Amino acid sequence: MVIDYNNLKINNLHSKTEFEKKVIFFTEEWFSDSETVKVQSSGSTGVPKVFKIEKKKMVNSAVMTCNFLGLKQGNSALICLPIEYISGKMMVVRSVERKLKLIVADPSLKPLENINDEVDFCAMTPLQVENSLDKLHLIKNLIIGGAAVSESLKSKITQTLKSSNPQTKIYETYGMSETLSHIALKQISSQSEEYFTVFENVTISTDERGCLKIFAPNVNSEILQTNDLVEIKNKKQFKFLGRIDNVINSGGAKIFPEQLEALVKKEIPNEVVFLGINDESLGQKLMLIIEGEKSEDLIKKINEIPFEKNFHKPKDIVFMDKIPRTPNGKVNRLELTKIIGK
């Protein structure tokens, strides 16, 4: 189904799938008299919450993204993310605001499976991108959110697009439900950037812990305090180091698991997670969880990685069939810690 928001006639829309029905329902909700809509958080760092968000602030967010990417009236967009979350809802709002033609594809691991024509704009999770490499060249502007983009996936993207379409622009996003999707983008293809660049009218700073503070008055009137440790380069750019609540304290040394995961993912294709499991002598013992079947070859590759510090080497390596994830694809560290810590 394609919804043309430049020539919208809601009564003429007919859904064939449950997801199409949900997209039409949200479109109707958007054009209702209500000034707010309800949005569910992912629950990746705690219990899922439901927010009421002003439509005008969602429009402001949509304008920032569309302007940053240069989207124009009549361009095409593809929605393949759950409509319950801000990521899916904002794809509709951007299409409404910029009068785009929205292609509706059921959220799945292969959202581009039935796409054969070029699409100007799309948002996907890393897992969806991993399963869509053969068709990435059809997307002119792709934003990836919901979880960090691994080094191995970045490498696959680069290799894939070298031969098919090096002009495709792909960005990693930074944001949360409270910022109405993202407030910063970092290009990973065809250029590779180290720092996120924040949108216009977004101010960044850090607290005494080194965690990011965001003031984006167009989308949220409050200063948002995150638990994300960052390095600020200038007023508009920052580098994400890791979440402070994920920091592992092993024998008095602070370890940032996200940085170690990025290093390991340069060497092996599997999903990996570093955890700190309670230990009597160390306080927390550094463990590496690898998704997939146990492999001596993978263990050998891990042991050959030149970790910056000796205490960055995992004390134990555990293989498991499936690492638990939240509904929108993020690794569920809380659930994983419960499973491993038993």
Query: Do residues 176 and 277 both lie within one domain?
Result: no
Choosing from 181, 209, 242, the residue where a domain stops is 242
Q: Is the pLDDT of residue 328 over 80?
A: no
Q: What CATH code is carried by the domain that includes residue 128?
A: 3.40.50.12780
Query: Do residues 233 and 272 both lie within one domain?
Result: no
Q: What CATH code is carried by the domain that includes residue 253?
A: 3.30.300.30
- Give the pLDDT score at 120: 96
Residue from 276, 270, 271 nearest 256 by CA? 276
Residue from 260, 247, 246, 249 nearest 312 by CA? 260
Query: Do residues 152 and 252 both lie within one domain?
Result: no
List the beta bridge partners of residue 277.
Answer: 285
Query: Do residues 163 and 262 both lie within one domain?
Result: no
Amino acid at 302: I
Query: Do residues 255 and 233 both lie within one domain?
Result: no
Q: Is the pLDDT of residue 152 over 80?
A: no
pLDDT tier at 185, thresholds 50, 70, 90: very high
Choosing from 242, 263, 296, the residue where a domain stops is 242
What is residue 37's three-state secondary structure?
Answer: strand
The arithmetic mean of pLDDT across residues 154-173, rounded, is 85
The arithmetic mean of pLDDT across residues 266-276, rounded, is 90
Query: Do residues 281 and 149 both lie within one domain?
Result: no
Boundaries of domain holding 10 = 2-201+229-242
Query: Do residues 237 and 268 both lie within one domain?
Result: no
Residue 114 counted as domain residue:
yes
| Residue-averaged pLDDT of the chain | 90
- Give the pLDDT score at 162: 82
Query: Do residues 78 and 91 both lie within one domain?
Result: yes
Distance, in Å, from the CA atom of 146 to the CA atom of 127, rounded to the nearest integer, reads 10
Query: Do residues 118 and 135 both lie within one domain?
Result: yes
Unique residue bearing structure tokens 């581009």:
112
Query: Do residues 195 and 317 both lie within one domain?
Result: no
Residue 189 counted as domain residue:
yes
Choosing from 211, 242, 273, the residue where a domain stops is 242
Query: Do residues 100 and 190 both lie within one domain?
Result: yes
Are 253 and 311 in contact, with CB atoms under 8 Å apart?
yes
Are 64 and 218 in contact, with CB atoms under 8 Å apart?
yes
* Residue 254: C-alpha distances to residues 232, 248, 259, 308, 334 (Å): 20, 6, 12, 13, 19
Residue 221 counted as domain residue:
no
Residue 220 counted as domain residue:
no
- Give the pLDDT score at 163: 76
Residue 210 counted as domain residue:
no
Pairing label, strands 196-198, 119-124: unpaired
Before 190, cis peptide (omega within 30)?
Answer: yes
List the beta bridge partners of residue 58.
Answer: none
Residue 140 counted as domain residue:
yes
Q: Please give the tally of structural domains in the chain.
A: 2
Residue 107 structure tokens: 């959220």
Residue 213 counted as domain residue:
no
Query: Do residues 11 and 97 both lie within one domain?
Result: yes
Residue 172 counted as domain residue:
yes
Q: Is the pLDDT of residue 231 over 90?
A: yes
Is pTM beyond 0.75 here? yes
Distance, in Å, from the CA atom of 174 to the CA atom of 230, rounded to the nearest integer, reads 12
pLDDT 10s digits, 45-101: 556 678 788 999 999 999 999 999 999 999 999 999 999 888 999 999 999 999 999
